[in-house]
Amino acid sequence: MKHSKLALLACAALALAAPAAAQVKLNGAGATFPNIIYQDWMLSYNKAHPDVQLNYQSIGSGGGIRQFSDGTVDFGATDAPMKDSAISAINGNVLHIPTVLGGDVPTYNLPDVKETLRFTPDVLADIFLGKITKWSDARLTAVNPGVKLPDQDVVVVHRSDGSGTSFIWTDYLSKVSPEWEQKVGRGTAVNWPVGLGGKGNEGVTATVKQTPGAIGYVELGYAMINKLPAGSVRNKAGKFIAPTLESITAAAAGAMSAIGPGTDFRVSITNPDGDKAYPIASFTWLLLHKQYDDAAKAGALVKFVWWAETGGQSRAEPLGYAPLPQQLRHWIEARLKTITAGGKSVWTTAAR
């Protein structure tokens, strides 16, 4: 009995040792927005832990959810949380773990306007509903005192490809405008009432830049790197807040009071409480299974994710992402602890 067990162990050890010192390979796929920081995380993590090989394909949130649900990848990533129907289709075997924050920025092309424009939620909604058609509209001039707005047509530019950026934008508009929620709704792609479509942040930016009087929305990190004009937006507390990484982290912190530790993190944090919160922000999530078959894989994965949530957060800002608020860590830790493989928690082996 003892003998055979030993032999089995030896065999297992051999089998594991044979391909380049017990390598664990983890494959993931999904959202394009967090791709830069995920690649960075995986590269740095692999340097510190050569035994773990991570691979992430940024094929889009939809593809990520599909591959994750089919079990072709070990983890997924998405900018828009999975729908209840999609979750029940895989028997609820999924955890949404937020990693970093992103925000949307209204950007515009008004060469003669030097001041930063200010937008109220209802103005943004009505521009994108096609109800405000001139830059000189009374409601725009009212919130921008001292700014000489031209008597020019407003040209709306939105994303033509499905994207998390659109999800955040339409989620926000749905919250602040009942008409938007009823007519258009929220999604990675929607039936836009007006406007031109541009492919990707770069497509929207190019169209805005080439179209006088255009207004579009892009990812905050993208707007920062390309130094695009970005409007301030009035938040729930009534303050006009410029989009910055800090004001987006503040948005998540502001939303925490509403979500509580028991949440499954699939929460929208647009239009949150908080004086300093920029209202058009969202988590981006990793999709992990609640139960894995392979304990080695699950352990390595949880360990990597926990590192990303702690040590990895400092890499966010230089790359144009907003880090998660500190307070969220405990809730994420508690959630990661529930992940099991073969009925046992993998946390103990993971957190060393």
- Residues in contact with other proteins by CB under 8 A are 32, 59-63, 65, 80, 83, 86, 153, 155, 160-163, 184-192, 195-199, 203, 206-207, 210-211, 214
Cβ atoms 27, 73 nearer than 8 A? yes
What is the smallest separation between the CB atom of 210 and other proteins, expressed in angstroms? 6
What is the smallest separation between the CB atom of 87 and other proteins, expressed in angstroms? 12
**Helix and strand element counts for the chain (H, E):** 14, 14
Q: Tokens representing 108?
A: 């515009």
DSSP symbol at 177? -
Q: Tokens representing 243?
A: 């989009």
CB nearer to other proteins: pick between 185 and 311 = 185
What is the smallest separation between the CB atom of 159 and other proteins, expressed in angstroms? 8
CB nearer to other proteins: pick between 150 and 197 = 197
The span from the CA of 199 to the CA of 215, in Å, is 15
Residue 283, helix vs strand vs coil:
strand
What is the smallest separation between the CB atom of 59 and other proteins, expressed in angstroms? 6
The span from the CA of 169 to the CA of 218, in Å, is 9
Residue 187, helix vs strand vs coil:
coil
Cβ atoms 60, 73 nearer than 8 A? no
What is the smallest separation between the CB atom of 55 and other proteins, expressed in angstroms? 18
Torsion of CA 230, 234, 240, 245, to 10 degrees: -60
CB nearer to other proteins: pick between 160 and 232 = 160
CB nearer to other proteins: pick between 52 and 190 = 190
Residue 133, helix vs strand vs coil:
coil
β-pair partners for 52: 24
CB nearer to other proteins: pick between 214 and 302 = 214
What is the smallest separation between the CB atom of 319 and other proteins, expressed in angstroms? 22
What is the smallest separation between the CB atom of 79 and other proteins, expressed in angstroms? 9
CB nearer to other proteins: pick between 208 and 253 = 208
CB nearer to other proteins: pick between 180 and 278 = 180
SS3 letters across 64-124:
HHHHHHHCCCCEEEECCCCCHHHHHHCCCCCEEEEEEEEEEEEEECCCCCCCCCEECHHHH
Residue with tokens 């910055």: 244
